[in-house]
Chains A and B, each alone.
Chain A
Amino acid sequence: MTKLKTPRAETTEAFLAKAGPELAALCTACGACFAACPMVDHIGLRAADGKAATQGLRRLALGQAAPAETIAWVGACAKSGLCVAACPEKDAGLDAMLLVRIAKQQALNTTHQLPAKQDPTLFPRVKIFARLQLSDEELREWM
């Protein structure tokens, strides 16, 4: 059972706007999350400077542009979650995976350093799969 968090804002959007600077303030840019991330190997950044990459993470969370290594890293986040346990500030409340996710959103929407990858066929496609297989009753009751 995952106990859900007490709401800290009126909307998800407001929460993210609040959480980014809070998490950035807790982050010391030590590079531990970057070192623990298995996706770093996939994007050829294992030899990169983890401290610089995580300094960029803090910048993104504050809505500021980040270096290319940070952008490539947050863009490749696959939610492995190994950063969470690796973060030395976790006991202080720093959820490293959430920080990376917020940084990625900022790179998409604020600094525009990542291109938006909108798939307009996502919902229409799953609806067709549903209609192929579900009974009328299932369509009515489940969706």
Chain B
Amino acid sequence: MDVGADRVTFWFGCNMLRHAEMIRLSIMLLERVGYDVSAAGGPAYCCGTAHDHQLHGASNMAQRTVARFNAAADKEGRGTVVTWCPSCHLHMSDIMSPGNAAAFEIAHITELLADRAERLAPLLHVAVKRRVLLHRHVGLATHVAVNDRVAGLLSRIAGLQLVPGPAHPGHMCSALAAVPGALAKAARETWGTAVAEGCDTVSTIFHSCHRELAALEGKEGVHVRNWVHLVAEAMGLEASDAYLGWRTGGAPDIAAIEKADEAKYHALVEPELRKPPPA
């Protein structure tokens, strides 16, 4: 099948599965600016970056994932893989593709939306009266100017005042978690700057930052949203955030827990939802 510029695979990675609304909103935004989207993620599409200690296994994962995207390009004409996760983006670019022939290119979701910002702009018809601190990291800038892309998109929202936050080390918060004190310092600096700048909202760019900062929701009057939530609000769409609710004392519906596997929920998920905030 011929590869079409508008037919894409949205590769949301593994850990974004905590944030189903963000996946759905991302797909919706890509569709609204004219892309035909097929979504893929989870362990079956692992990039292998979390398995540096098992190089052979990670290599096999990379091979399998590239093969699946090659098949999507070949059979469905999906010649662009749209990334969300900076780890996936870096790994595909720097490590997966030099060892596997890829029949596709990659682009970060913020690049595609920024390229079609003129199509998006008329859809942003609801004023979002928030003063927003953009939580930023310096990483990924080697490949994608993601901070600028998100700032550009948010600046199109009426009523929204954007304040650039401190540029933290790493490509996202999870990268800092392994270094004692680093994540807490980034969270403290983000929150301190938001309060000092009179912001009522911190906007995350990536899922792992959202996951970490969600525990601080409401602290000192500052709320946590992801950039896709803010764009959705400007479109007049529902932009709920289940993970944030669970992280701040709520819990999933009991029927959902039973469907997911109650024992595994209590063993694997609940400890994450109840762990102390990073700062």
Residues of A within 8 A of B (CB): 1-16, 19, 38-39, 42-43, 75-76, 78-82, 84-85, 95, 97-98, 101, 104-105, 108-109, 116-119, 121-134, 138, 141-143
Question: Are A143 and B41 neighbours in the complex by a CB distance under 8 Å?
Answer: yes
30 contacts between A and B (CB under 8 A): A3-B105, A4-B92, A4-B104, A7-B98, A7-B99, A7-B100, A7-B101, A11-B59, A11-B63, A13-B55, A15-B95, A16-B99, A38-B138, A42-B169, A43-B179, A76-B182, A78-B171, A78-B175, A79-B87, A79-B140, A109-B53, A118-B53, A126-B17, A128-B264, A128-B269, A130-B20, A131-B260, A132-B252, A141-B39, A143-B43
In whole angstroms, how far apart are the Cα atoms of A4 and B86 in the complex? 15
In the bound complex, residues from chain B placing their C-beta under 8 Å from that of A76 are 178-179, 182
In the complex, the answer to whether B106 meets A1 with C-beta atoms within 8 Å is yes
- Taking a contact as CB atoms under 8 Å apart, the answer to whether B95 and A108 are in contact is no
* B107 interfacial by beta-carbon distance below 8 Å: yes
Q: Are A42 and B179 in contact (CB under 8 A)?
A: yes
Interface centre among A4, A8, A118, A126, by most B CB within 10 Å?
A4
Which residues from chain B sit less than 8 Å from chain A, CB to CB? Answer: 12, 14-15, 17-18, 20, 23, 38-46, 48, 50, 52-56, 58-59, 62-63, 80, 86-87, 89-90, 92-102, 104-108, 111, 137-144, 169-171, 175-176, 178-179, 181-182, 185, 242, 252, 256-257, 259-261, 264-265, 268-269, 272
**Chain B residue with Cβ nearest A4:** B97
**Contact status A142-B39, CB under 8 Å:** yes
> Would B99 and A81 count as touching, CB distance under 8 A?
no
Once the chains are docked, how many angstroms separate the CA of A4 from the CA of B106?
Answer: 7
Whether B42 contacts A142 by the Cβ 8 Å rule is yes
Tell me, in angstroms, the Cα distance from A8 to B107 when the chains sit together: 21
Residues B40 and A142 in contact, CB atoms below 8 Å apart? yes
What residues of chain B lie closer than 8 Å to A80, measured between beta carbons? 137-139, 169-171
Contact B260 A132 (CB under 8 A): yes
In the bound complex, residues from chain B placing their C-beta under 8 Å from that of A101 are: 52, 94-95
In-complex Cβ contact of A97 among B46, B55, B142, B269 (8 A): B142
Q: Is the CB of B95 within 8 A of A78?
A: no
Q: Which residues of A contact B86 (CB under 8 A)?
A: 79
Residue of A nearest to B268 (CB): A125
CB–CB A125/B272 < 8 A: yes
CB atoms of A142 and B181 under 8 A apart: no
Tell me the bound Cα distance from A16 to B39 in angstroms. 29
The dominant DSSP class at the A interface is helix
Most buried by B among A15, A97, A124, A129: A129
Chain A residue nearest to B42 (CB atoms) is: A143
Complex interface: chain B residues within 8 A of A1 (CB): 80, 105-107, 111
Residues of A within 8 A of B46 (CB): 123
CB-defined contacts of B44 to chain A, threshold 8 Å: 143
Interface residue from B20, B137, B268 paired with A128 (Cβ < 8 Å):
B268
- Known contacts: A15-B99, A16-B95. The answer to whether A123 contacts B14 by CB under 8 A is yes
B107 CB contacts on chain A under 8 angstroms: 1-2
| CB proximity of A74 to chain B, nearest CB, Å | 11
Nearest 8 A-B pairs (CB), nearest first?
Answer: A78-B170, A12-B99, A116-B53, A15-B99, A133-B20, A13-B59, A78-B175, A131-B260
Report how far A141 CA is from B42 CA in the complex, Å. Answer: 11
Contact of A142 among B41, B59, B101, B185 (CB under 8 A): B41
Q: Which residues of A contact B137 (CB under 8 A)?
A: 80
A8 CA to B102 CA, complexed, in Å: 12
In the bound complex, how far is the Cα of B12 from the Cα of A81, in angstroms? 22
CB distance from A35 to the nearest CB of B (A): 14
Query: A81 with B63: in contact, given A4-B92, A124-B264 (CB under 8 Å)?
Result: no
Least Cβ–Cβ distance between B107 and chain A, in angstroms: 5
